[in-house]
Amino acid sequence: MLEIRGVSKSFGGLKALDCVDLAVGPAEISGLIGPNGAGKSSLVNVISGLLAPDGGDVRLEGRVVSGQGPERVARAGIGRTFQNLRLFPALTVLQNIEVAAQTARECRPDRAVAMDLQAEIAALGLAGAEQLDAGTLSYGDQRRVEILRALALCPDFLLLDEPAAGMNEAESAMLATAIRSIRDRHGVGLIVIDHDLHFIMGLCERIAVLDMGRKIAEGTAQEVRHDPKVIEVYLGAPA
Amino acid sequence: MDYALQQFLNAASFGAEYALIALGLAIVFSLMGLVNFAHGEIIAIASYAAFFLILVGIDNPAVVALVAIAASVLGAILFERVAFRPVRHAPVATGLLTAFGVSIVVQNAFLLFVSPRPRPLPVFGGLNRTVELGGLKVQLLQLLEIGVTLAAISALLVFLRRSTLGLAMRAAARDFNTVRLMGLRANRVIATAFAISGLLAGIAAVFIVARRGSIEPDMGFMPVLKAFVACVIGGFGSLGGAVLGGFVLGFVEVGILLVLPQSMGGLKDAVVFSLIALLLVARPQGILGSRVELGDKER
Ligand SMILES: Nc1ncnc2c1ncn2[C@@H]1O[C@H](COP(=O)(O)OP(=O)(O)OP(=O)(O)O)[C@@H](O)[C@H]1O
Ligand SMILES: [Mg+2]
C-alpha cells in the first residue's frame, strides 16, 4: 500500500500541493489528472523523494519514506518516469536499465532474479535498440526506456508522469496494454498522470483530480466524469 | 633530433602530471560542483606518508610508493567524510571555502608537527637516472610518468565504461538526482569519486617527490593551481577536457620556455597564468556557474 497523507508543498508563495491525500493498493492502476500547474508532477516529486514535503508524509506499507532522499525511496521499491525525459543520454538503452537493475539485485534479489529484462524490453517494442545511445531515440522510445528503467528496480509501485505524451492514438493504446501487462505480471501498483483523458479513463481503475494543489475529486472514471467540480475545471473538455 | 625528443618527453611528462591531478579535480567537480582546492593537500599527505615511512626505517621505494598512494586515497575519503559531506548541499562558495579551510588546516599540521622548511626525501631519487631506449638516452622518471598516466587513464576509462558504478558516475555527472532515483547512494558514488581523485593524486605525488627530492607543507599548491588551469583549458568538469588540458598545459609551458630567452625564463608562470585570466574572461560561467536544483525542474 502506498499512502500519501496530507502532503503539502510550497514554492515561495505558491502552494503547489495543499494537503493532498491519496492511496494506491498493490496491483492497482490509479490515474492522476488535472490542468497544467495543478501539482501532479510535484506530487510525484514528493513521493519519489526529489522534494521533501512541507507537511504530511508518504508511507510505503506503513513506513514513512518521504523526506529521506530519492535513493531511499527507490531502494524501498518505488520507481518513476519523468514528464520531461531524464534518461542518461550518453549511455546505451541497456546501460540505462543496468544502473537501476544493479539496485534491484542489491535490494530485492529474489525479484531481480525473476525479472526477465530482455522480455520486458521486447514487450515494450524496444528489442534491437539495446545498444543504441538513449539520447538518440525518438521521444516515444525514450519514454518507453524510462518505463523499463524504472521497472528494472523491480518496484512495488511505479509513478508514470505523462507516459503517453507525444504518442499518437495507436501508440498510446499499445502503451496502455503494456502498462496493464506490467501490472498483471508483476503485481505493481501504478500512479499514471496524463492529459489524455481517453487514455487515463481506459487504463485506470481509480482516478484522482488535482486542481491548484488540491484534490478536488476521486473515484472511478464514471464518478469523476460526472463530478461537477471536475467538469468546471475542465470547462467543457470531453470529460 | 635527440633534443626535440627530449623536449617532447619533457612536455609530455609535465602534461601527464597535470593530467593526473586535473582528472582528480574534474571527477569531483563533475559530480558535485566542488572545486577541491584541498586536492594539493592530498598530494602532500601522500608525500608526508612517504616521509614518515622513511623515518620508521622502511625505505624500499616500491613499498613507500604504494603506502603513499594508499595514504592519499584514505586522505581523500577522509576529507569528503569529515569536511565536504556536511556542506554537500550548501552553495558552491561554501564548498570552496571549506576546501580552503581543509587546505590550511592540513598545511599547518605539517608545518607544526614536521617542519615549516622543506625536508629532503630522496627515496624515489633512483627514478631520475637515464636509460637507453633504442639508442636514445631518456629519463626513466619521464617514461614512467607518461606510461603510468596513460595506464591510469585507460583503467579509469574501462571503469567508467564497464562497471555499473562507473556507468552511474558518468550518468551522475550530468544528472545526479536521477541516478539517486535509480537507488544509487549518493554517499557511495561521491566517496568513490574522492577515492579515485586520491588515487590519481597519490600517483602524481610519487612523481612530484621523485622530481623535487624534498617535501614541504605547501608543496601541493602549485601542482593543483596548474591542474586547475588544465581544467579551465579543457572545460571544467569534463574528464576528457582535464586530460587534454593537462597535456596542452605541459606542452605550452615547455614551448614557452623554448621561445622565451634564457634570461626571461622566470616569466614562464606569468605567461601561463595570463592564459588563465584570458580563459576566465572568455568563459566565466563554465567554472563556478551556480546550480539551483529543485525537483524535476532543474533543466
Ligand atoms: N521546483 C519548482 N520550483 C518552483 N516552482 C515549481 C517547481 N516545481 C513546480 N513548481 C510550480 O508548482 C506548480 C505545480 O507544478 P507541477 O509541475 O506540479 O504541475 P503539473 O500538474 O505537473 O502541470 P503539467 O500538467 O503542466 O505538467 C506550478 O505552478 C509550477 O510552476
Ligand atoms: Mg507535470
Say which of B170, B182, B296 has its CB closest to residue A50: B296
Please report the ipTM that was assigned to this predicted complex.
Answer: 0.89
pLDDT of residue A236: 56
Start-to-end Cα distance in chain B:
53
Query: Is B254 part of any domain?
Result: no
Distance CA A69, CA A57 (A): 13
Query: Is B228 part of any domain?
Result: no
pLDDT of residue B290: 33
Q: Which residue has the cell 500512479?
A: A191
3-state secondary structure chain A: CEEEEEEEEEECCEEEEEEEEEEECCCCEEEEECCCCCCHHHHHHHHCCCCCCCEEEEEECCEECCCCCHHHHHHHCEEECCCCCCCCCCCEHHHHHHHHHHHHHHHCHHHHHHCCHHHHHHHCCCCCCCCCEHHHCCHHHHHHHHHHHHHCCCCCEEEEECCCCCCCHHHHHHHHHHHHHHHHHHCCEEEEECCCHHHHHHHCCEEEEEECCEEEEEECHHHHHCCHHHHHHHCCCCC
Say which of B164, B294, B295 has its CB closest to residue A102: B164
User: Which atom of ligand 1 approaches the CA of B297 most closely?
Assistant: 1
Residue to mutate among B190, B296, B297, B298, with most A CBs inside 10 A, is B296
Query: Is B240 part of any domain?
Result: no
**pLDDT: which is higher, B173 or B227:** B227
pLDDT tens digit string along B60-79? 999 999 999 999 999 999 99
**pTM to 2 decimals?**
0.84
pLDDT of residue B4: 85
Q: Please name the residue of chain A whose CA is at the shortest distance from the CA of residue B189.
A: A71
Q: A92-101, B30-39, B161-170, B257-266: which has the highest mean pLDDT?
A: A92-101
Distance CA A168, CA B100 (A): 55
Query: Is B272 part of any domain?
Result: no
pLDDT tens digit string along A46-102? 999 999 999 999 999 999 999 889 999 999 999 999 999 999 988 999 999 999 999
For residue B292, give the 3-state DSSP assignment: coil
Overall average pLDDT of the B4-29 stretch: 93
Contact A86 B174 (CB under 8 A): no
Identify the band that residue B295 occupies on the pLDDT scale cut at 50, 70 and 90: low
Q: Residue A42 CA: which ligand is closest?
A: 1
Identify the band that residue B91 occupies on the pLDDT scale cut at 50, 70 and 90: confident
Identify the band that residue B174 occupies on the pLDDT scale cut at 50, 70 and 90: confident
Rg of chain A (C-alpha set): 17
Distance CA B42, CA B278 (A): 28
Please state, rounded to an integer, the average pLDDT across all residues of chain B: 88
Q: Please name the residue of chain A whose CA is at the shortest distance from the CA of residue B299.
A: A84
pLDDT of residue B284: 56
Query: Is B209 part of any domain?
Result: yes
Query: Is B267 part of any domain?
Result: no
Q: Please name the residue of chain B whose CA is at the shortest distance from the CA of residue A154.
A: B182
Query: Is B263 part of any domain?
Result: no
User: Which atom of ligand 1 approaches the CA of A45 most closely?
Assistant: 18
Query: Is B238 part of any domain?
Result: no
Domain count within chain B: 1
Please indicate whether residue A155, judged by its CB atom, sits closer than 6 Å to ligand 1.
no
Structural domain boundaries, residue B106 = 2-218
Residue to mutate among A88, A153, A161, with most B CBs inside 10 A, is A88
pLDDT of residue A147: 97
- Residues of B with CB below 8 A from A90's CB? 170-171, 174
Q: What is the pLDDT along chain A (239 residues), one digit of tens a residue?
A: 999 999 999 999 899 999 999 999 999 999 999 999 999 999 999 999 999 999 999 999 999 999 889 999 999 999 999 999 999 988 999 999 999 999 999 999 999 999 999 999 999 999 999 999 999 999 999 999 999 999 999 999 999 999 999 899 999 999 999 999 999 999 999 999 999 999 999 999 999 999 999 999 999 999 999 999 998 888 655 54
Identify the band that residue B292 occupies on the pLDDT scale cut at 50, 70 and 90: very low
